[in-house]
Amino acid sequence: MSIHYDQIVGDDFAGELCPDAAQIVQSIHDPNAPPVEATDITAAREGHLFAAHDLPLITNGLSVDDRQIEVGGRRIGIRVYTPSGAGPFPILLFAHGGCWTFCSLNSHDRICRFYADVVGCVVVSVDYRMAPEYPFPAALDDFYDALIWCFEHASSLKGDPGRVAVAGDSAGGNLSAAAALRLQSHPKYRLCLQVLLYPICDASALSGGSMERYADGYFFTREVLAWTASLYTKGSDVANPEISPQYATVTPNLAPALFIIAECDILRDQALAYAQKLRAADIKVHCNYYRGVPHAFVAMAGVLDLGKQALQDSVHSLRQAFTQPD
């Protein structure tokens, strides 16, 4: 696969975890616990509480407000992070990761606080419905409808509808990419950036390349992805572009994209392939590749230097996009 990397970060550990990342992964792994995919969803959620608790808790100058919005006859929960000041501020709509089945507003709270504070934007984190209780397309519908709501109600958020971006990690990156694809055909609204942190781009690709090399022992396993993807898709065609953006038709209206890609991640190759697809379609792409780190390394930013670097790199891209939106 021929890929142009705009930035390659970190020392070369021959495709293995750097010492700091290896120590973190080892500390998270419990050899006595049953595999996540061998448990029921309730037990899996209780045991899957990894969150960015090591990031500083930013409170000063931020207003944090949990709300319910009415969209399409249903209520969607959102958490709104607003910087101090009159605004209008740029808006970043955020989708938490967790394989469409785990995590919550709370697990990604500190990352959202970081973006709101350091970028100086309103962050709207979406409490989308999760599988298996709500399979595809529930999560995407919630995230996309919340996005349109933000455009339409930007003034109530002290936000600027002309400066809106989406971001998410893993499954949240998948939802961000799929929402950006949906928005291609919207007659009015445009995104200025999609920030895709090690996104799931092809739920049908469960073999070969990085999927084989990093299948087990690198925090996020192939078996967990296969299990949670089956819960999310639940009989839907996994090659549906709204599940696997790799199969989408791309138009010039698609938003520019920043890819944050981890080297030691089963999702590495499919994220690279999607970045290649967008670049081939003349979409503005910035592709950052971080050596020696696993999936979810941004959530390790409080103790992992490359996690901090990736956060700062995404801040830089967001600031650029919000200052000079495409």
Q: Which H/E stretch holds residue 268? A: helix 268-280
Whether 108 is catalytic is no
Tell me, what's the pLDDT at 176? Answer: 98
Tell me, what's the pLDDT at 325? Answer: 53
- pLDDT of residue 39 exceeding 80: no
The amino acid sitting at 230 is S
Which distant-in-sequence residues (6+ apart) come within 8 Å of 239 by Cβ?
A: 204, 247
Whether 54 is catalytic is no
Cα separation, 170 vs 175, whole angstroms: 9
Mean pLDDT of all residues in 122-139 = 98
Tell me, what's the pLDDT at 2? Answer: 54
User: Cβ(180)–Cβ(191) under 8 Å?
Assistant: yes
Residue from 96, 108, 286, 295 carrying the catalytic annotation: 295
In this prediction, residue 48 has a pLDDT band, given cuts at 50, 70 and 90, of low
Tell me, what's the pLDDT at 82? Answer: 98
In this prediction, residue 3 has a pLDDT band, given cuts at 50, 70 and 90, of low
- pLDDT of residue 96 exceeding 70: yes
| Helix (H) and strand (E) counts in the chain | 9, 9
Residue from 107, 125, 170, 314 carrying the catalytic annotation: 170
Query: Which of 54-58, 77-81, 299-303 comes out lowest in average pLDDT?
Result: 54-58
Q: Decide which of 3.90.1150.170, 3.40.640.10, 3.50.30.30, 3.40.50.1820 is the CATH code for 7-323.
A: 3.40.50.1820
Q: What is the pLDDT of residues 224-283, one digit of tens each?
A: 999 999 999 998 999 999 999 999 999 999 999 999 999 999 999 999 999 999 999 999
In this prediction, residue 31 has a pLDDT band, given cuts at 50, 70 and 90, of confident
Alpha helices in 70-208 (DSSP H): 109-115, 138-152, 171-183
> Model-level pTM?
0.95
Whether 265 is catalytic is yes
Domain range list for the chain: 7-323
